[in-house]
Structure 1
Amino acid sequence: MIDKQSPIPMYYQLEQLIREEISTGKRELGTAIPSERELSDKYGVSRMTVRQAVNNLVAEGLLTRKKGRGTFVEAPKVEMPLMKLTSFSEDMRQRGMEPGAEVVSFESIHIGPKEAEALHVEEGTEGYQLARVRTADGEPMAYEVVTVVKEMFPQLEYADHGGSFYAHAEEQGIQITGAYQTLEPVLVPKKVAQLLTIKKGDPTLLLTRVSYVGQNKPFEHVKSYYRGDRYTFTTEMQR
């Protein structure tokens, strides 16, 4: 309960109570919390105090407001650091989650102009393109499209396309040494929204990456749409 004699602000006490209910599973993901009025009556605090506590938890990502429906418990966001090159599978396992992949398509292609420029090959060069939905504990997290030059990675045709792409490449003796990537917020296309089980127009983070082997030889071109409601990207900077 709220201790009104405590020097700890009442809004913060309420935050902690709600946070504890979420962490212990008393309030499950996707379920609505009581209204401001109900919380105000239950804990004997003003609605302004309730609103401040809820606002802080929304800003933190533990709660989300849905217009006309109320406030719901939100799945915590996955933090992805931008200073280290890791695969999706490695990222998820480091967080205690089971990575997975649902293959949308795999085909031989003639590489298009943008990918050809990034891979330093001529437009029309033969390649492979793999499109997958990446999952964590069975939940769709990202949609990625990987393009490689067929001559450089012919084994991809026989790979387990549901596994880690980096791990398979390294098993074939391909040593990935680094990458260049860009990150930008975009509105999710309809097809991608359906695959990620979110709404068309919802915010997503588009990551475009070119990975290198050896002395900066381009190896792969990847476009990944990450769910904006499940991801936050972090970087460490020094002055």
Structure 2
Amino acid sequence: MSDLDMGIIALVALFTSVLSGVAGMGGGITLLAAMTFVVPLPALVPLHGTTQLISNLSRVLMLLKYIHKKIFFFFCLGLPIGVIVATQLIVNLSSKTLPLVLLFVLISYALFKPKKLPPLKLPFSAFFFVGVIAGLLGILVGATGPFLAVFFLRKDLKKEEIVGTKAILQMSVHFLKIPAYLYLGFNYHDYTILILVLAVASLLGTKLGVHLLYRVKEEVFHLLYRIALLAALFRLGYMIVN
């Protein structure tokens, strides 16, 4: 990778970390899309996961007191199951289109469902199943943010709780992806410099994003959240078609 490509990706990582910090989502899938232009396909998901691990970890540390402990607990019970199953599936999986299509349908339902249909406001214990599916998607697709986002379209959580809790869920997924891809034979050492550059950019972006989050009104945050989710929906549609 040239120095120019690395610099461009670092700027994208900075911007997307700001976006995730202030809107709670949108940064991960945007970074994944940008990385497809310069990162070899076999390295795409593991490198993206490492960058997002650092970005989400910094967000967690800044919003630690707002994390919803029950959601995190039940999510962590289900997450390893999904990761283990996906690690076995990925060797024989011929197409990644199906998970993307299912994710597209889920986000579409959350954003555009008729009012008479039930919202995706799950009881906290049901995040066990969210953890299982997030583990599957984390290995097979890479970005889990849009999937998790639909379960946080709820008014019983403050904006800081949404961003902080979603960050620790995503951090957990990305953390377990490292041993999974080591098991599959990926060599992280070959990309040490790129990982360090993206880590610094992500930390700076997260600090700025969380700083802005504290100053955004709740109603503005929820609007930004839906806009970011809609942007992710369009991006998923593009990935499915192409």
Question: Which interval holds the TM-score relative to the shorter structure?
Answer: under 0.3
- Output the TM-score relative to the length of structure 1: 0.22
Which protein has the bigger strand share? 1
Higher Rg: 1
Larger helix proportion of the pair: 2
TM-score norm. by structure 2 comes to 0.22
